A = this chain, B = another copy of it.
Amino acid sequence: MADMTVGIIGAGRIGQLHAEYIMSMSSIELKGICDIEIDHLKGSMMEKHVPVITTDPSILIEDEEMDAIFICSSTDTHCYYIEKCAQAGKHIFCEKPISFSLEETKAALRKVKEAGVHLQIGFNRRFDTHFSKVYEAVSAGKIGRPHIIKITSRDPEPPSEAYIQSSGGMFIDMTIHDFDMIRYLSSNEVESVSVVAANLVDPCFQKYDDVDTAIITLTFEDGSIGVIDNSRRAVYGYDQRIEVFGEKGVVMADNERESNVQIATKESVTLDHPKYFFLDRYKQAFYREIQAFARAIIDQTPVSCTGEDGLEAQRLAIATRLAWKENRTVLLSEIE
């Protein structure tokens, strides 16, 4: 009775999150979940409500009833599954980043194009209530032509050493969200990138040729400039703020706090902390990105965050890493 039937490849944290949200939507049926390991799903709501739970992805991809596949497996498998899904004529929702290699990404996007299927990349923040209002204000011309776009993006705590080792580095793993957001807010392409970066949070990052703290500056084709500041550890919570400053004003989105409660005593006046966990902070955004994807598939309209957006964010991550390594301004045109 649902309008659309989907499957999920990859039942890790993010795959399970998508599963939970899809199960709560009446218009989408979650028919199958696949992972190399499925024991951890025993006794879960998924086991109860999802007809097919399998370790064989082809069972989902080749299922005639499937309209779309959510690719939530590890990054190094994304392109393989994108191509398989495209060949099978399935629409695709793929987590970020698309891959660690531009060649792989471009090849996968070509297959998507040939197959004529939809591909949406999981840049959930575009669907955040606060950030989408900022986007709307900018689009509506409320602040005129943008001059400076600023993103503050700091994780509450660093990932595990194992994660760091295979993350591809902070720029591709974490900043990629900010690269997408800054392009989104700018409605313009980046021309060049520079960066100052440091290893201040944990020596572990240096061990894997990575950084944990950075300020990235960007120039856009329209002459405006952007800046992203990142840290792998903001002990006070997940710090996610954006600001677009322009000829006619400024629009800013502040953090979401745990609550709007204020306590004042002789000793202190306290507010609640910013939300700490990304699934809590972006809960609605994760929900809304799936809804937007479903709407696009059902209504046959373009998806709002395409494979090309994923590619561009990946190019920016690669350019930033190069800018860091060579301590110079890198033109985006150098990254092919």
Contact = CB atoms under 8 A, between A and B. Distances in A.
Interface string A259-275: 11111111011111110
A102 interface: no
A304 interface: no
Given A133-B261, A147-B231, A261-B252, A269 B266 contact: no
Contacts of A249: 235-236, 263-266
A263 B250 contact: yes
A310 interface: no
Interface in A146-177: 147-148, 150, 154
A296 interface: no
Contacts of A269: 236, 257, 270-274
Contacts of A219: 196, 198
Contact of A250 (B48, B224, B234, B327): B234
A251 interface: yes
Interface string A56-95: 0000000000000000000000000000000000000000
Contacts of A236: 249-250, 264-266, 269
A266 B196 CA distance: 26
Interface of A: 1, 24, 26, 45, 48, 129-130, 133-134, 137, 142-143, 145, 147-148, 150, 154, 192, 194, 196-201, 213-215, 217-219, 223-227, 229, 231, 233-237, 239, 245, 247-266, 268-274, 327-329
Given A147-B201, A250-B263, 18 more contacts: A134-B261, A148-B229, A150-B229, A196-B219, A196-B225, A234-B245, A234-B250, A235-B247, A236-B269, A239-B250, A249-B264, A253-B260, A256-B260, A268-B268, A269-B270, A269-B273, A270-B271, A328-B329
